[in-house]
Structure 1
Amino acid sequence: MKPDRPSFAVVAERRFRLAGKAIIEQHNPYFLPVDQQRELCERNGIPFISFAHYDYLGLSKHPEVVAAASEELHRQGTGVGASRLVGGERAGHRVFERKLADFLGVGDAMSLVSGYLVNVSLINYLMGPRDLVLIDELAHNSIFVGAKNGRYDHRVFAHNDFDDLEHKLDDLRGQYRNVLIVVEGLYSMDGDIPDLPRLVALKEAHDAWLLVDEAHSYGVLGATGRGLCEHFDIDPKRIELTVGTLSKSFVSSGGFICAEQGVIDWLRFTLPGFVYSVGLSPAALGSAHGALDQLQAEPQRVTRLHDNSLYFRDRARAAGLDTGAAIGCGVVPILFSSPMQTMIASQVLLEQGVYAPPIVQIGVPKDQPRIRFFISADHTHEQMDKAIGIVAGVIAGNAGVGIEMQTAVMGA
């Protein structure tokens, strides 16, 4: 007789509980239909403010960006129909990639349909059995998923601790054929950045390669939004590989890889995540291209983003809130003493028209729950002050919490 085994659904339920189901049983702030919530707030005379989205430059509803997406959609239809290698190429793909590479100061760029796919596919493809990948401990999940499934060795170094990285390079470099160091340009949970000048010096001294994930730093760091290299005034061609997403500053979807032109030419024919996936859809391509054009035409948006981010961070700190190591550029977290306090703060914010979901179990240490505030060039001082005041009130114990949320999910 076969032993009784729990069903797939039962196993899933157990894992859900381990992942923190109990925390959200009274109020679930996730998967909120944001469009319905906005409509609900407007009907009730409450201005809706989002700090949950990556629209750093405020371009998602820019008329020129919307028009570019619409034009490409109507000209090409809804899809590309195949892998670009065997039938999905459109002239606009290469035009956009060439313009993006020129803007970023790199040899060439290639786009993929998923930013997550970029890291999972690229690192596994590049590195082999005699290689080592050294990863910042707070790097994105896509990097670690690739590392765990790779044929190479991988080690973690302490976050932004380049003494630790240097020790590992000194101890291990001679044992491997190739070594790849992986960091992020702007860490999306903490809002801090790596010391790129030291990183470049370390990788060059140890004959290693460097990959910088600039998903949150392109369009955000640097005087004109060209990312971490512009922020530190370092030639981007000294970095072997950078990757980015089109879902943040470029208000679209997808990802891209930047490298020397010869490297990109090779990857176009061989990288599994590119070869076996379709190209960007016409609407996604048009919106990303339109956003890039507006970023170049309106560099003042980057300046406004910088000013707003520093304003939010400094005002939050002045209110006694813990913003961790955030430099005040694009992402500013506020840390709480417990998951429950974090959930309450998010609930009170939403009751007053401010959307900023809590991060309590996934992606951060369990003892560091937080709300991430993604700052936009379009946020006003009044909106930021409102959010900070609400959070400060919750932490001080002065903010009442409604028993039921007046949200579209709960029924308006």
Structure 2
Amino acid sequence: VMYFQREERGRPGSAHLCTEGGSSPSGLKGGHTASLHKNGISNGGLYKRPFNEHFEQAPMYVAVLTYLGFGVGTIFGYLRDFMRACGLESCNLAAEREEQKDFVPLYQDFENFYTRNLYMRIRDNWNRPICSVPGPQFDLMERVTDDFNWTFRFTGRTIKDVINMGSYNYLGFAETDANALKTLADVLQNYGTGVCSTRQEMGNLDKHIELENLVARFLDVEAAMVFGMGFATNSMNIPSLVGKGCLILSDELNHTSLVLGARLSGATIRIFKHNNMQSLEKLLRDAIAYGQPRSRRAWKKILILVEGIYSMEGSIVRLPEIVALKKRYKAYLYLDEAHSIGAVGPTGRGVVEYFGMDPEDVDVLMGTFTKSFGAAGGYIAGKKELVDFLRTHSHSAIYATSMCPPVAEQIIRSMKCVMGLDGTTQGLQRVRQLGENTRYFRRRLHEMGFIVYGNDDSPVVPLLLYMPGKIGAFARRMLDKNIGVVVVGFPATPIAESRARFCVSAAHTREMLDTVRTADVLVKLTSDARGAGRSYKSVTLNLNNSFCFCFS
């Protein structure tokens, strides 16, 4: 029987998974993960610092009411579809042209049920147009709808100085620094806006080579290769590394780009529970013991896919344990540091540095420049043999247009700042400020009684709302207080775990964070808890909004 050990602050590995009786999940006594639990986690052999994560389950009645809300919503959705078919309700759905009605449909009608009956009722909370630099604050163009979010029109009013709690601007490089703008203008003058060619043809610039050398130096690896799109860095390179006859072991909460890359590769894919070392070890043991289905031949390669920080959960990968397992079972490790590079570690070098590990322990280091570095694109780093192989086999390198020069210059400038190569300590100060802001904001939310997921050092801060009706109401009311937040619900999250996701930045001031946490919307959610001495989970229904939100 597997369970989450309750968090104990200050104790290493306080949220790790254990098994009753100390046996491995395969039923064999003395499994490798059991020895890790005994010698590595409890005694600090693998973790050099406390590893605190929180994943409190929803109270039973909250979960029941959440499912009930979706059930009632589905019933009303069918009722509204019936009313539209009878002409009793105006319909703004896209209509097929007469000459196409005998075509095979692109999708089934039910596939659009959620979109037209649920998402459309809260659609105004996404794709909001901003009209300024997306720094710690931004300006928002106000829009209204006259047809229940099917279309929008601008009012001409601009909402000024909205606190930005939604952007992945971890180190605050989304800014209009005068010196940076001058440097970028010079690069724009010398190189133009784009290359209009692939790296293997006419698109290989000295700026790309300079950036790759800098990334390799930053990560302390032999070589690195950069790509123009972060998503494609995963989806187009994984198929180059594995194929038919190979096995991919993927965390159940991996990003879509990793999932797509795994599917495109043609390799066999097996999923292990999120950050669950027992689940991963069982798959590794079975893969080695039984080999490929039918033939029972050994797998050509076994590749473990994980992320540094998981963007929906705020959790940090249990890297020391995964590295120990991959060494024991001779597997390869692919680490996606899209959200962790620049955001964690004493000098911002990601989860490898965060755990004090050797970069050579990770076979493939991947990351993006779209979060901490205020730019675009991604990289893959590691051994020189790996990078040389990808230069000739990567679909992204062969077919995709190379990174535009001004973007490469922005990455070089921001990375040099983090490394201290610009002659200042500003980059290190940003990394430290991000850590301070993250721990402060998480601690204060916990003190207010909220259920907050993730690791104490993760700048991704999911605050659980649970009920689908809350996510729309919460985002609207926060915007009324000049606070921009991201809200997420099913199918991006489990059906009973709708949430608001705050992203903390080094550019946020303490006053901004206090403004967010003391907003009337959050205070109301905790007012009853303060009076009764109960936790947030006891008052999670107190936001003024019906769970049947989509049928008002």
Identity of aligned residues (%): 30
Query: 1:69 and 2:184 equivalent?
Result: yes
Query: 1:170 and 2:300 equivalent?
Result: no
In the other structure, the counterpart of 1:48 is 162
Moved more, 343-352 or 215-224: 343-352
Counterpart pick for 2:430 among 288, 292, 301: 301
In the other structure, the counterpart of 1:410 is none
In the other structure, the counterpart of 2:523 is 393
Distance 1:18 1:398, change over 3 A: closer
SS of 1:334's equivalent in the other structure is: strand
List aligned pairs for 1:88-107, cutoff 5 A: 88-107=203-222
In the other structure, the counterpart of 1:86 is 201
Counterpart pick for 2:471 among 342, 351, 355: 342
Deviation at 1:169, TM superposition (A): 0.5
Q: Distance in 1 between matches of 2:195 and 2:352?
A: 33
Q: Please, what TM-score do these two structures have when normalized by structure 2? A: 0.68
Would you say the 8 A contact 1:73–1:286 is kept in 2?
Answer: no
In the other structure, the counterpart of 2:124 is 28
Distance 1:26 1:58, change over 3 A: closer
In the other structure, the counterpart of 1:279 is 402
Would you say the 8 A contact 1:107–1:237 is kept in 2?
Answer: no
SS of 2:431's equivalent in the other structure is: helix
Counterpart pick for 2:354 among 223, 226, 231: 231
Would you say the 8 A contact 1:320–1:392 is kept in 2?
Answer: no
Q: Distance in 2 between matches of 1:151 and 1:172?
A: 17
Amino acid at match of 1:38: D
Distance 1:234 1:337, change over 3 A: same
Q: Distance in 2 between matches of 1:183 and 1:200?
A: 11
SS of 1:48's equivalent in the other structure is: strand
Moved more, 32-41 or 373-382: 32-41
Q: Distance in 2 between matches of 1:35 and 1:212?
A: 35
In the other structure, the counterpart of 1:357 is 486
Q: Encode CA deviations 1:146-197: one digit per residue, 9 max, x unaligned.
A: 2223321010000000111011111112411210001000111111111111
SS of 2:518's equivalent in the other structure is: helix
Query: 1:247 and 2:370 equivalent?
Result: yes
Deviation at 1:303, TM superposition (A): 0.3
Deviation at 1:121, TM superposition (A): 1.2
Deviation at 1:394, TM superposition (A): 5.1
Q: Distance in 1 between matches of 2:102 and 2:450?
A: 48
Amino acid at match of 2:171: L
Deviation at 1:34, TM superposition (A): 1.6
In the other structure, the counterpart of 2:266 is 151
Q: Distance in 2 between matches of 1:35 and 1:210?
A: 41
Amino acid at match of 2:161: P
Unaligned runs of 5+ in 2: 1-98, 133-137, 143-156, 292-298, 421-426, 527-540, 546-552
Q: Distance in 1 between matches of 2:363 and 2:129?
A: 40
Amino acid at match of 2:163: I
Q: Distance in 1 between matches of 2:544 and 2:141?
A: 21
Amino acid at match of 1:53: S
Counterpart pick for 2:502 among 373, 392, 402: 373
Deviation at 1:400, TM superposition (A): 7.2
In the other structure, the counterpart of 2:237 is 122
In the other structure, the counterpart of 1:201 is 324
Deviation at 1:68, TM superposition (A): 3.3
Would you say the 8 A contact 1:60–1:66 is kept in 2?
Answer: no
Query: 1:181 and 2:304 equivalent?
Result: yes
Would you say the 8 A contact 1:65–1:291 is kept in 2?
Answer: no
Q: Distance in 1 between matches of 2:187 and 2:108?
A: 41
Q: Which has the larger radius of gyration?
A: 2
In the other structure, the counterpart of 2:226 is 111
Amino acid at match of 1:348: R
SS of 2:139's equivalent in the other structure is: helix
Moved more, 28-37 or 90-99: 28-37
Distance 1:274 1:82, change over 3 A: same
Distance 1:371 1:4, change over 3 A: same
Q: Distance in 1 between matches of 2:395 and 2:122?
A: 43
Unaligned runs of 5+ in 1: 402-412
Q: Encode CA deviations 1:376-406: one digit per residue, 9 max, x unaligned.
A: 00111221122222342353577779xxxxx
Q: Please, what TM-score do these two structures have when normalized by structure 1? A: 0.90
In the other structure, the counterpart of 1:383 is 512
Q: Distance in 1 between matches of 2:492 and 2:185?
A: 35
